Amino acid sequence: MGLMDRLRDAFGRPPAKEVAKKRLQLILKYDRAGLPPNAVEAVKEAILKALEEFPFIDTSGVNIHITESENTKGKIEIEVPVRNN
């Protein structure tokens, strides 16, 4: 590594091991659930489209993530907030 690269690593960016850990935690979530890495994005897009027709749903607040599950490989959890007014 050149001096500029080393300086940037030392002062600008998070350490490589932190990046590796975050990436691994995400990768293993998908691996364990047997899902391709873009699965959640794809599901989210389809759900958002389907929810568009309901005015009482706040689509900007839709939250979707993978969790572990007792009796299936994994579970995709979706939170759909209802608008306040």
Partner 1 sequence: MADKVVCITSGKGGVGKSTVTANVATALAMKGYKVVAIDADIGLRNLDLVLGLENRIVYDIVHVVEGVVPPEKALVKDKRTKNLYLLPAAQTKDKSAVKPEDLVKIVEELRDKFDFIFIDSPAGIEEGFKTAVTPADTIIVVANPEMASIRDADRVVGLCEAMQKPEPKLVINRLDPKKVARGDMLDVEDVLQVLSLDLLGVVPEDKNMVSYINRGEPAVLFEDSVAGKELRNIAERLLGKEIPIPKWTYSEGFLEKLKRLFGSE
CB of 33 to partner 1, least distance (A): 11
Q: Report yes or no: 20 and 34 within 8 Å, Cβ to Cβ.
A: no
The answer to whether 37 contacts partner 1 (rule: CB under 8 A) is no
The answer to whether 4 contacts partner 1 (rule: CB under 8 A) is no
What's the distance, Cα to Cα, between the start and end of the chain in Å? 57
The answer to whether 75 contacts partner 1 (rule: CB under 8 A) is no
The answer to whether 77 contacts partner 1 (rule: CB under 8 A) is no
Residue 7 or 78 having the CB closest to partner 1: 7
Residue 35 or 80 having the CB closest to partner 1: 35
Distance in angstroms (rounded) separating the CA atoms of residues 24 and 3: 29
Hey, CA dihedral for 31, 22, 38, 42, is it positive or negative? positive
Distance in angstroms (rounded) separating the CA atoms of residues 74 and 25: 15
Residues lying near partner 1 in the complex (CB under 8 A) are found at: 3, 6-7, 10, 15-18, 20-21, 23-25, 27-28, 31-32
